[in-house]
């Protein structure tokens, strides 16, 4: 059970039960990632800039993705027209109990919006187009039990939001142009979760409101592998604010403009397809939410994972949704059938490694395999998997994954008797752990869980 617990903590815990469709029609949400601790007691490491990557997918596929992202909500509800902020800069304000790392992370994000998406986004000290309102996590949880943060239209404060609930004010489908929105984010969460909320929710406040499971290279995906905006996401925002488009355009009008627009903005677009597109069946989504969610017995969740895999095969999927199904099967078998888990992870990784922009997914699989190897008394293999994942996690700016893989490698080094190298690596991981896990206490708990993976026979072998 220990390996199941630590892997569940280290990997995706964001696929919780979704709110009902009535709620999903009101807000765009970033799903909750549970973290064991909230207060930061020591200095944290902060990521610096990010090197833009070329979007290596065909413009025809990107055009379809844009339409699917722009003209539908996460609940499946259709949006009649494109909406955006028009005329002048887009201003962003932070209000409420602003966490200590939020200002720096917002400044870096605004710089990326300006440099990568060509958007005139500015920090405001007063009322703004986008008002990021920091409230206690329990306040958000009392409203939506399984989300970390969300964005709502036509309001700028928590009081306005509460007053507008149950009215048409919060209905995105009635919007024809964006002028004023609020993002509600946790004031007392981990620095990484706060940053992730800023990235996804500000991007959705400005641009697409939908998430698509088939996207391998985007934050706009409910699998939550990507935690910061990607080059694909920046391209979507650049298209969203291109002069060829305007608020009030229908799907058909936008579709007619997109080929020429993308040829101008992404002239190096490749050919071929990386996914089959199309709406994801609700049955598969429900199965995945059950499999990777916090509720239900292990057997029920395992059955749900296999159901999702069966649906993926029946749909003929060959890309990210099939890989994610295999990932879920692996996650649910690490304790009761390590061989089946390893085979499932290998299937997931084989698919992810051939998809453009899916390196971080493969790194998550490597983390799972490293922990599995450590639990099976194979520290050398654990180190190999960790070495492959660490640079990818760093490039993707995922501190919690980076710290976890570093700690797994450190435990493997210690199991081999290399105590000095293990101690140095743990020390190097601390700043990332505090950013990703939120507190020294949470970091120590993660270290204990990882240490418990090592079989007693392996400890005795290297001690002897």
Is 140 within 8 Å of 85 (Cβ atoms)?
Answer: no
Start-to-end CA distance of the chain, whole Å, equals 27
Residue 457's pLDDT is 58
Cα–Cα distance for residue pair 335/26, rounded to 1 Å: 39
Q: How confident is the model at residue 461 (pLDDT cuts 50, 70, 90)?
A: low
Is 210 within 8 Å of 68 (Cβ atoms)?
Answer: yes
Q: Beginning with the edge strand found earlier in the chain, give each strand of the sheet holding 28-31 in spatial order.
A: 28-31, 147-153, 181-186, 130-135, 90-96, 121-123
pTM of model > 0.85: yes
Phi, psi at 152, each rounded to 5°: -135, 145
Is 4 within 8 Å of 335 (Cβ atoms)?
Answer: yes
Structure token digits, residue 60: 């025809």
Q: Lowest-confidence range among 21-30, 212-221, 360-369?
A: 21-30
- Among the listed residues 286, 289, 21, 30, the one whose alpha carbon sits nearest the alpha carbon of residue 172: 21
Give residue limits of the domains in the chain. Answer: 23-265, 282-463
H-state helical runs in 316-375 = 320-331, 338-352, 359-375
Q: Lowest-confidence range among 190-194, 365-369, 459-463?
A: 459-463
Residue 367's pLDDT is 97
CATH classification number, 282-463, choose in 3.40.190.10, 3.40.50.300, 1.20.120.80, 1.25.40.10: 1.25.40.10
Question: Angle 10-305-388 (CA atoms, 0-180°, nearest 5)?
Answer: 40
Cα–Cα distance for residue pair 78/64, rounded to 1 Å: 15
Fold identical between 23-265 and 282-463?
A: no
Considering 45-59, 266-280, 294-308, the range whose residues carry the highest mean pLDDT is 294-308
CATH of domain 23-265: 3.40.390.10
């Amino acid at each position: 059970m220990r390996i199941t617990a630590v892997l569940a903590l280290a990997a995706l815990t964001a696929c919780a039960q979704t709110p009902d469709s009535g709620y999903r029609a009101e807000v765009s949400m970033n799903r909750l990632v549970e973290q064991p601790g909230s207060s930061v007691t020591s200095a944290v490491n902060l990521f610096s800039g990010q090197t833009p990557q070329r979007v290596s997918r065909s413009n025809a596929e990107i055009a379809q993705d844009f339409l699917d992202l722009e003209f539908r909500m996460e609940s499946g509800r259709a949006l009649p027209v494109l909406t955006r902020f028009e005329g002048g800069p887009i201003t962003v304000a932070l209000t409420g109990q602003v966490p200590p790392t939020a200002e720096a992370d917002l400044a870096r994000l605004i710089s990326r919006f300006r440099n990568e998406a060509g958007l005139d986004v500015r920090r405001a000290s007063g009322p703004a187009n986008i008002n990021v309102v920091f409230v206690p996590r329990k306040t958000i949880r009392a409203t939506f039990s399984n989300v970390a943060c969300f964005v709502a239209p036509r309001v700028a404060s928590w009081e306005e939001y509460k007053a507008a609930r149950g009215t048409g004010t919060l209905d995105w489908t009635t919007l024809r142009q964006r002028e004023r929105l609020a993002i509600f984010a946790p004031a007392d969460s981990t620095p990484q979760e706060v940053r992730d909320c800023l990235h996804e929710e500000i991007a959705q406040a400005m641009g697409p409101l939908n998430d698509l499971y088939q996207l391998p290279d985007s934050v706009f995906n409910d699998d939550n592998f990507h935690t910061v905006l990607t080059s694909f996401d920046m391209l979507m925002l650049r298209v969203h604010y291109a002069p060829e488009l305007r608020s009030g355009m229908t799907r058909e009008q936008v579709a007619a403009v997109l080929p020429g627009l993308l040829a101008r903005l992404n002239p190096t677009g490749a050919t071929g397809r990386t996914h089959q597109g199309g709406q994801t069946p609700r049955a598969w989504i429900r199965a995945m939410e059950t499999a990777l969610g916090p509720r239900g017995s292990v057997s029920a969740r395992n059955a749900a994972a296999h159901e999702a895999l069966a649906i993926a095969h029946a749909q003929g999927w060959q890309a990210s949704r099939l890989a994610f199904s295999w990932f879920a099967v692996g996650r649910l078998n690490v304790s009761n059938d390590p061989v089946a888990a390893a085979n499932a992870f290998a299937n997931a990784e084989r698919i992810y490694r051939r998809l453009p922009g899916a390196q971080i997914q493969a790194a998550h699989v490597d983390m799972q395999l490293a922990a599995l190897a450590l639990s099976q008394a194979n520290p050398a293999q654990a180190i190999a998997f960790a070495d492959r994942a660490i640079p990818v996690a760093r490039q993707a700016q995922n501190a919690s994954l980076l710290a976890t893989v570093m700690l797994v490698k450190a435990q493997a080094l210690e199991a081999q008797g290399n105590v000095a190298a293990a101690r140095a690596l743990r020390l190097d991981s601390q700043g990332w752990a505090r950013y990703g896990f939120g507190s020294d206490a949470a970091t120590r708990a993660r270290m204990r869980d990882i240490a418990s993976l090592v079989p007693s026979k392996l400890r005795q072998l290297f001690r002897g």
